[in-house]
Amino acid sequence: MSDTVGGDEPLLNRAQIAQIFNVSENTIDKWRGKGMPVEVEGGNGVAYGFLFSACKEWFDESQARAAAEKRAADDFVAQQRMAFLGIDKKDQKAGLSPVQMRELAQAELVWMQAAERRRSLVQVDEMVELLDLVFGEIRAGLDGLPDWLEREFSLSGEDVERVVAYNDGILRAIKIAIEAAALGERPEVVDPLDRGLI
């Protein structure tokens, strides 16, 4: 086809425009169906006519639109994955792909197993058992302290009551700290002598 339209740019047929874009003529037909501009409608012995500049502009816009749609879909997938995994957007893991997340999880598992063997990582149930034992000893010691102080230092009944109140404050502060740790909150530390915040 040797016709020109709008200056020196030649009008191209399907085979020529397909050759420029390095695709088949069937792909050109599909692109026409998606809106690629045609200067001369073909059919019944008439060849289709395309201007490369118009086709290139349409192609670039289509590629940009497809890339934007892919980015939007990828962002949506990433947000849903973060929500599903409970990851904050500021978390370093937020931008990782599923393969990277799996590799990170495997590395963390190996690290935890090594730390456990070094005894620098303790199982939760072992720690709970240890804390139960420690706090049981603390409670027993604090419960017996007023009687021991009364015998050793001949404390008055009023002094013994003050020691009991002080010990109760210590136990309450420990309980508050444990509950706050379990709920992820910072405990208010109370001075058992004057009940004020420390």
Q: What is the pLDDT of residues 1-14, one digit of tens each?
A: 445 555 688 999 99
Segment 133-169, tens digit of pLDDT: 888 888 888 888 888 888 888 888 898 888 888 988 8
- State residue 20's pLDDT score: 95
Sign (positive/negative) of CA torsion 132, 135, 141, 144?
A: negative
What burial letters (b/e) apply to 73-108, b meaning 16+ CB within 10 Å?
eeeeebeeebeeeebeeeeeeeebeeeeeeeeeeee
Strand partners, 43: 46
Residues of the chain short of pLDDT 70, as ranges, are 1-7, 85-97, 122, 182-198
- State residue 188's pLDDT score: 56
- State residue 15's pLDDT score: 94
Where do the H-state alpha helices sit in 48-156?
52-85, 98-117, 124-153
Residue reference for tokens 């009991």: 164
Q: Which residue type, as a one-letter code, is found at position 168? A: D
Closest CA to 42 of 54, 51, 50: 50
- State residue 101's pLDDT score: 73
Q: Give the integer Cα–Cα distance in Å for 174 and 197.
A: 14
